[in-house]
Structure 1
Amino acid sequence: MKLRRSLLWAPPILVLLGGCDMVVLNPSGYVAAQQADVLVTATLLMLLIIIPVMGLTGFFAWRYAASRKSKYDPDWHHSTSLELIIWAAPLLIIICLGGLTWVSTHMLDPFRPLENIGERRPVPADVRPLEVQVVALDWKWLFIYPEYGIATVNDAAAPVDRPINFKLTSQSVMNAFYVPALAGMIYAMPGMQSQLHAVMNLPGEYDGISANYSGAGFSNMHFTFRGLEARDFVEWIGEARATGRTLDRQEYLALAEPSEKVPASRYASVSTGLFGRIVNRCVEEGRMCIDEMAWLDSQGGTGLAGTINLMPAPAKPTAPFGMTPFHVAELCAPLPSEEPRADSLALLSPLAPAPSGQSGETF
Structure 2
Amino acid sequence: MNERLPLAFLLAAVALSLYGHSMVFNEWVMPTYGNTMIHVASARHAIETGEYPMWNDYSYGGGQPNLYVPLYRFLYAELVALTGLSFDLVGRLIVVLYALLLPLGFYLLGRELAGEWAGVASAFLASLSPELLIYTVRPLPQGLGLALLPIGFYFLAKKDLRASVLSAFLIVLAHQEAGVFFVGCAFAFGALEVARAFLAGKRVFAESMPGFAAWGAGTLTYLGWHFFAVRNLDLFALAQFQHHEGAFVSLQLLYDKTGLVLLALGALGFALLAYKALENKLKAPGVFALSALLVGLFCIKNDLFGLQVFMDRFIVFLHVSMIPVAALALKEACSFSGKIDERIRTRLSRGG
Same fold (TM over 0.5): no
TM norm structure 2: 0.23
Structure with bigger helix share is 2
Of structures 1 and 2, the larger Rg is shown by 1
TM norm structure 1: 0.22
